[in-house]
Structure 1
Amino acid sequence: MAVDRERVKALVHELLLAIGEDPDRPGLTLTPQRVADAYTEFFAGVGQDASAPLARTISVARGPAPEALPSGAVMIRDVRFRSICEHHLLPFLGTAHLAYLPDQKVVGLGALTRVVEILSARPQVQERLGEQIADTLMLSLEAKGVLVVLDAEHSCLTMRGERQPDASTVTIAARGELADPFARGELISLINSGRR
């Protein structure tokens, strides 16, 4: 389902009136259109199938070197994402670290980042976002294990209420063999390697 831009524009116009502003003053005349454009981008993942990018897998068992089956995890770290908190409609920005233990299939690394983009482009909470990414990877790749670590700063915590500008939230979602904290220890240390 696509964002109804005209409806968003009308609602932003009303919102400006509701907060006591003049939506027709020079600085605000284009604001409803700008917000509609931004919301179209921010919520582009609503209704999209997050597993679609993972449909094109590579069979390692039937590839050019079937004797070279993966013996460890595939990890991509420092994937930047942004989402909108469903509680306050304020942004949260962060970094995703993704790992999976392949069985018979691997996938292009860009497909992993696309899953994050789709699932984060909808009203979200960080806890659910990590779980959805983990479930999508686990099921679509038929992986032996999945680990998703998200580290994000939430505007609802940094800009309002308690106003903790340096606070970040870390969540972990794990499936299969990587649900065991000991099994994922090496991956957690790899995520942190090279950090200051």
Structure 2
Amino acid sequence: MGGMTAIPSAPRQARYQMPPFCSSGWAMTNDEVAQGAAAYPADIGYQTTDSPAWWDNNADVAVERAVRQLLSALGVDEGEHTAETPARVARAWREMLWGYNEVPEDHLDTDFPAPDDPGLIIMHGISFASTCAHHLLPFSGTATIAYRPHPGQRIVGLSKLARLVHGYAARLQVQENIGHQATAGIMRKLNPSGAMSVITARHDCMRLRGVREPAAEATTESRKGMWPDREIALVHRLHAGGRPGAC
């Protein structure tokens, strides 16, 4: 692939900060909405306008070399099963980390007018797979994304919420950050009165090493804006597999 840049040498620093929201009750004022949008800067990924890809042939060569060194350090002799392992691993990493090659919240740019009374929008049962930034091991699970548009503002196609999660998951990640990045993107792009995510996942870094808990699951929540308790409970109930009217 020509015209592409190599992987950046250093990770970016986190640039999201939690703003103060809704100091005076359920409805956000226009000032609070504007404050919320400004508090969540665009996630620029590793893209530039001239070179949108983050992986090139130089990256393939570097990863293959590193895998050969790893196998040698582990005392693994090159044989029929491992001769092509470095190239296979390089291709696998390229596929698993495709999220660095896009700005996930840009999926929210295709939007539509919201109804006069848009209510609460919840997409649950979003499956995802990611890679732990601490141990380079997989974790996977399900995500629920919810937001409440203001009347007369904008909504997005439901598939865009899944694409948002998938894009952020396809990076070196921690579970908490996926939900935060998703809700921050919604707040910045759509200016709703609130955005919320609930994510449950199993982590191979807990299953295969350390504490060795193969059945343990982690659930994390990111909530921005103003949310009444009944709607928080509804989002969690749907995330857990319940129905809106269930007790």
TM-score (norm 2): 0.71
Query: Match for 2:127 among 76, 80, 85?
Result: 80
The reply on whether 1:53 has 2:102 as its aligned counterpart is no
Aligned to 1:154: 203
What's 1:63 paired with? none
User: Pairwise CA RMSD of aligned residues?
Assistant: 1.7
By how many angstroms is 1:46 displaced?
1.8
Partner residue in 2 for 1:65 = none
> Is 1:100 matched with 2:153?
no
Secondary structure of 2:142's aligned partner: strand
Unaligned runs of 5+ in 2: 1-53
The question of 1:137 aligning with 2:192 is answered no
Q: Do the aligned residues in 2 keep the contact of 1:2 with 1:44 (CA within 8 Å)? A: no
Q: Measure the CA separation in 2 of the matches of 1:71 and 1:53.
A: 20
Look up the match of 2:160: 111
Aligned ranges 1:1-196 → 2 under 5 Å: 1-2=54-55, 4-22=59-77, 24-46=78-100, 48-60=102-114, 68-103=115-150, 104-178=153-227, 180-192=228-240, 193=242
Correspondence for 2:25: none
The one-letter amino acid paired with 1:83 is: S
- Which runs of no fewer than 5 residues in structure 1 stay unpaired? 61-67
Distance of 1:191 and 1:86 partners within structure 2: 25
Change (3 A) 1:184 1:19: same
- State the AA in 1 paired with 2:197: V
Aligned identity (percent) is 33
More strand by share: 1
The one-letter amino acid of 2:123's match is I
Distance 1:49 1:71 in 2: 27
Large movers: runs of 4+ above 3 Å: 180-183
CA distance in 2 between counterparts of 1:190 and 1:118 reads: 23
The Cα of 1:191 is off from its aligned counterpart by 2.6
Question: Following the alignment from structure 1 to structure 2, what is the Cα–Cα distance between the partners of residues 181 and 29?
Answer: 57
Contact 2:143 2:239 in 1 (8 A): no
Instruction: Tell me the equivalent position of 2:11.
Output: none
The alignment covers a number of residue pairs equal to 186
CA drift of 1:187 comes to: 2.1
